[in-house]
Chains A and B, each alone.
Chain A
């Protein structure tokens, strides 16, 4: 097994382009889809426009730790939404607000929630102020009461609360893309098994004292390690170069990545059992990888999906559970308990696919 594993790394050293290109692609895709360039001082920029007395609203809105509201003209907002440069813009009115929406964006939902809260609170204060002689005093009184409340209600979600933080979207994209592109790396490297069976080197190895399971293990472990390296590099690049520096639950993250890679390597084996020619695999691989990523929420969060069939299908996709568990571990720090269920699914998925895959491969041969 060790010899087969070392051989694969020697081959990687001779032709590392594929793996490097998938790492680069992951970074490029996260940059494009996640849009990490739009943040200002760690805050997500929201563009607003409006006429009249809107400056006070802007100041209130900019008290946020998450969002940075910037004014542009109405014409600019309309033009940018029309051309797709902005997904949405906020229109501020003296006593109200509305959104100009071009395309659906999950981020807009959380922005809207935040704006609504700010408006609601301020309007309540304004109404109360109308009923007293000294509006400034009542405001101070209310602020003081809020700073030292009689009761403190601490809310905690049993499951993740989607997109309460703008960074959630960026993490979603980074995790999704990393898990998506690693599928390609693994599938492409597993194709080596078929190539070796075709060019005769596989038979040569089988005729040696090395056992067949050791040969399989050498290949599978190589794909696993390669996948781990790829995901690791991407995560480290984003952590140290692009400021994705949330505190993470290290062990659950490692265990989740391992379980996910096991599931994908097993799925690759199943595909090898189904397809007997490299050309067939080259056709199947992108369909399976992209289809799985689309359904499993790698390209967009499943919270944005309302179609019942799509949601049902997503439940059979390992990438869904990989994203879910990694978000729990890397974003919400929910500990081991939160990742156990997805990991259990990934392991079950892996065992089933591996069993069927190896069975099919050996049956084809006999």
Chain B
């Protein structure tokens, strides 16, 4: 349905997106993962025709979107990262305006407004000014605006940033419903790994403007199928200990986490004994140990050497 070919964007001398290839099939839910500055938003801006790529092409059903941006604009709904609403107007007035620019009029417009207000659960508060809404409610109206014209493709750029868990859960359920029940194609960017894991069929991982890995959740996790993750909570956190462990050839990766360290080791290598010896030697008290199969977060860490929120 939608594909990009060697998509590149340069801002003066800075290469924001570096020749990415990417595709989406109709009805798919795609996750675009990457830390801040990875190039996700620039990629989305190019796909949605807001900015032109320096080189490369974007094709919708085989036709170039770069040459004819109106092609994608007619079938696209975009939920931007920021709350792109008129705060001094009510939710209803915002929806009415955005509906009008999508050429919706009269009864049809009213019907669509009530439909999306129901979907985001704000029917009762439609006459309230947006500036009086909570962050979560503003996010929901932000999404409602993108759904008003029933787009075939929905692009969501970190739609859950800075909101309470209840609103977040509501939004995730809503996106899943749109994808599964209405067959809407969704491109979802986030740096919350669990959101992407929950929602997306396939995932692209971006870093430094490039796609460094892609595939289904299972395919990506198989990158680390021969490894296991050991989480060690310790007191105090000793950088010297971690440096010593990094020098061990059998330990693949050591990273500091909140309460201690995360180690990736070959499956069945039985490194626990060695780790305990080292902690004792450094006078570090181990408060908890957990051995896990790799998560997408581990895959990301393995591929980029940093966490998503770095």
Show the binding face of A for B, using Cβ within 8 Å.
Answer: 3-4, 6-7, 10-11, 14-15, 199-201, 203-210, 366
When the two chains form their complex, are residues B93 and A10 in contact, meaning their CB atoms are under 8 A apart? Answer: yes
Given A3-B101, A14-B88, A14-B89: A207 in contact with B83 (beta carbons within 8 A)? no
Contact status B88-A15, CB under 8 Å? yes
Q: Which of B150-177 contact A (CB under 8 A)?
A: none
Say yes or no: A207 contacts B48, CB within 8 Å: yes
A-B contact pairs, 25 of them (CB 8 A): A3-B100, A6-B97, A7-B86, A7-B97, A10-B93, A11-B89, A14-B88, A14-B89, A199-B82, A199-B84, A200-B80, A200-B81, A201-B86, A203-B78, A203-B80, A204-B78, A204-B98, A205-B101, A206-B50, A207-B48, A207-B50, A209-B74, A209-B101, A209-B102, A366-B52
Having A209-B102, A366-B51, one finds 10 other A-B pairs with CB under 8 Å, namely: A14-B89, A200-B83, A201-B84, A204-B78, A204-B80, A204-B98, A204-B145, A207-B50, A208-B98, A209-B103
Picked from B82, B84, B86, B101, the residue with its CB within 8 Å of the CB of A11 is: B86
Chain B residues at the A interface, C-beta cutoff of 8 Å:
48-52, 70, 73-74, 76, 78, 80-86, 88-89, 93, 97-98, 100-103, 145
Chain B contacts for A210, CB-based, 8 A:
101
Residues of A within 8 A of B73 (CB): 207-209
Question: In the bound complex, do residue A203 and residue B84 qualify as a contact, i.e. CB atoms below 8 Å apart?
Answer: yes
Q: Given A3-B97, A11-B86, A15-B88, A203 and B50 touching (CB < 8 A)?
A: yes
What's the Cα separation between A4 and B86 when bound, in Å? 12
Residues of B near A201 (CB, < 8 A) are: 84-86
For A207, what are the chain B residues with a Cβ–Cβ distance below 8 Å?
A: 48-50, 73, 76, 78
Residues of chain B with a CB closer than 8 A to A203's CB: 50, 78, 80, 84
Give A245 Cβ to nearest chain B Cβ, in Å: 39
A199 to B82, CA, bound (A): 7
A contact residues around B89 at 8 Å (CB) = 10-11, 14
Complex CA gap A328/B155 in Å reads 58
Interfacial chain B residues near A206, Cβ < 8 Å: 50
Q: Report the separation of the CA atoms of residues A3 and B78 in the bound assembly, to the nearest whole angstrom.
A: 20
Assembled-state Cα–Cα distance A210/B51 (Å): 16
A43 to chain B, nearest CB (A): 49
What is the chain B residue whose CB lies nearest that of A14? B88
**B86 / chain A contacts, CB cutoff of 8 Å:** 7, 11, 201
Task: Give the chain A neighbours of B102 by CB distance below 8 A.
Answer: 208-209
Closest to A15 in B: B88
Given contacts A204-B145, A209-B74, A209-B102, contact A11 B88 (CB under 8 A): yes
